[in-house]
A and B are shown apart, each in its own frame.
Chain A
Amino acid sequence: MLHIEDLHVKVGDKEVLHDINLNIGEGETHVLLGPNGSGKTTLLMTIMGFTNYSITEGKILFKGEDVTTMKAHERAKRGIGMLFQRPPTISGLKLGKMLTAISKSKEENIPELARLVHMDKFLERDINKGFSGGEIKRSEVLQLMIQNPDFVMLDEPESGVDLENISLIGTAIGSLLEKEKHLIKRKKSGLVITHTGYILDYLDADKGHVMCEGEIKCHGNPREILKDIKQRGYKECLECRHP
Chain B
Amino acid sequence: MKVPELSKADQDRIAQAGIDLAMGNRCGSYLQMDQDIVQAECSQQGIEVLSFKKAMEKYDGMKEYTWKAVSPDKDDITRYVAAQKEPKGYVIIAHKGSNNILPIQACLYLGREQIQHVHNIIVAEEGAELHIISGCTSGAHVGKGGAHYGISEFFVKKDAKISFTMIHNWSENIEVYPRSASIVDDNGVFLSNYVCMQPVKKIQMYPTATLRGINTVARFSSVVISTPGSYMDLGSRAILEGKGASAELITRAITKGGTIISRGHINGKTAGTRGHLECKGLILNDGIIYAIPEIEGSVVGTELSHEAAVGKLARDEIEYLMSRGLDEDEATATIIRGFLDVKIAGLPEALQRQIDASIDVAEKAGF
* A interface residue numbers (CB < 8 A to B): 48-52, 71-73, 75-77, 81-82, 84, 87-88, 90-94, 97-98, 101-102, 104, 126, 143, 147
* Option from B316, B324, B341 in Cβ contact (under 8 Å) with A102: B324
In the complex, are the beta carbons of A98 and B324 less than 8 A apart? yes
In the complex, are the beta carbons of B322 and A73 less than 8 A apart? yes
In the complex, are the beta carbons of A92 and B340 less than 8 A apart? yes
Q: Which residues of A contact B331 (CB under 8 A)?
A: 73
Known: A73-B325, A77-B325. A88 touches B334 (CB 8 A): no
In the complex, are the beta carbons of A126 and B338 less than 8 A apart? yes
* B interface residue numbers (CB < 8 A to A): 280, 314-317, 319-328, 330-331, 334-335, 337-342
Chain A residue nearest to B334 in the complex (CB) = A101
Q: Which residues of B contact A75 (CB under 8 A)?
A: 323
In the complex, are the beta carbons of A51 and B338 less than 8 A apart? no
* Option from B322, B325, B337, B342 in Cβ contact (under 8 Å) with A93: B337
Interface SS of chain A: helix, strand, loop or mixed?
mixed
Taking the closest CB of chain A, its distance from the CB of B295, in whole angstroms, is 22
In the complex, are the beta carbons of A73 and B323 less than 8 A apart? yes
* Option from B326, B327, B335, B342 in Cβ contact (under 8 Å) with A90: B335
Taking the closest CB of chain A, its distance from the CB of B191, in whole angstroms, is 19
In the complex, are the beta carbons of A88 and B320 less than 8 A apart? yes
In the complex, are the beta carbons of A90 and B323 less than 8 A apart? no
Q: Which residues of A contact B321 (CB under 8 A)?
A: 98, 101
In the complex, are the beta carbons of B317 and A71 less than 8 A apart? no
6 A–B contacts from the bound complex (CB under 8 Å):
A49-B322, A71-B322, A76-B322, A90-B317, A93-B335, A143-B324
In the complex, are the beta carbons of B324 and A88 less than 8 A apart? no
Q: Which residues of B contact A98 (CB under 8 A)?
A: 321, 324, 334
In the complex, are the beta carbons of B338 and A97 less than 8 A apart? yes
Q: Nearest 5 pairs between A and B by C-beta? A: A93-B338, A92-B338, A72-B322, A76-B325, A73-B322
Q: Which residues of B contact A76 (CB under 8 A)?
A: 322-325
Q: Which residues of A contact B327 (CB under 8 A)?
A: 71, 73
Known: A50-B319, A51-B315, A88-B320. A94 touches B325 (CB 8 A): no
Taking the closest CB of chain B, its distance from the CB of A13, in whole angstroms, is 18
Q: Which residues of A contact B320 (CB under 8 A)?
A: 84, 87-88, 90
Q: Which residues of B contact A81 (CB under 8 A)?
A: 323-324
Q: Which residues of B contact A88 (CB under 8 A)?
A: 314, 316-317, 320
Q: Which residues of A contact B317 (CB under 8 A)?
A: 88, 90
Bound CA–CA A198/B339 (angstroms): 38
Q: Which residues of B contact A102 (CB under 8 A)?
A: 324-326
In the complex, are the beta carbons of A97 and B334 less than 8 A apart? yes
In the complex, are the beta carbons of A93 and B323 less than 8 A apart? no
Bound CA–CA A88/B338 (angstroms): 14
Q: Which residues of A contact B280 (CB under 8 A)?
A: 91
In the complex, are the beta carbons of A51 and B334 less than 8 A apart? no
Interface centre among A73, A76, A82 (most CB of B within 10 A): A73
Chain B residue nearest to A124 in the complex (CB) = B343
Bound CA–CA A94/B335 (angstroms): 10
Interface centre among B280, B326, B340 (most CB of A within 10 A): B326
Q: Which residues of A contact B335 (CB under 8 A)?
A: 90, 93
Bound CA–CA A91/B339 (angstroms): 6
Q: Which residues of B contact A94 (CB under 8 A)?
A: 338, 341
Taking the closest CB of chain A, its distance from the CB of B326, in whole angstroms, is 6
Known: A82-B323, A84-B320. A101 touches B330 (CB 8 A): yes
In the complex, are the beta carbons of B325 and A147 less than 8 A apart? yes
Bound CA–CA A143/B321 (angstroms): 10
Q: Which residues of A contact B338 (CB under 8 A)?
A: 90-94, 97, 126
Bound CA–CA A72/B327 (angstroms): 8
* Option from B323, B337, B339, B340 in Cβ contact (under 8 Å) with A72: B323
In the complex, are the beta carbons of B326 and A73 less than 8 A apart? yes
Bound CA–CA A73/B327 (angstroms): 5
Interface centre among A91, A94, A104, A147 (most CB of B within 10 A): A91
Bound CA–CA A230/B70 (angstroms): 75
In the complex, are the beta carbons of A101 and B326 less than 8 A apart? yes
Bound CA–CA A92/B333 (angstroms): 12
Q: Which residues of B contact A50 (CB under 8 A)?
A: 319, 323
Chain B residue nearest to A89 in the complex (CB) = B317
Q: Which residues of B contact A126 (CB under 8 A)?
A: 338
Taking the closest CB of chain B, its distance from the CB of A171, in whole angstroms, is 22
Q: Which residues of B contact A52 (CB under 8 A)?
A: 315
Bound CA–CA A88/B317 (angstroms): 6
Chain B residue nearest to A92 in the complex (CB) = B338
Q: Which residues of B contact A51 (CB under 8 A)?
A: 315, 319
Interface centre among B315, B316, B321, B324 (most CB of A within 10 A): B324
Known: A77-B325, A88-B314, A147-B324. A93 touches B334 (CB 8 A): yes
Bound CA–CA A91/B338 (angstroms): 7
Q: Which residues of B contact A93 (CB under 8 A)?
A: 334-335, 337-339, 341
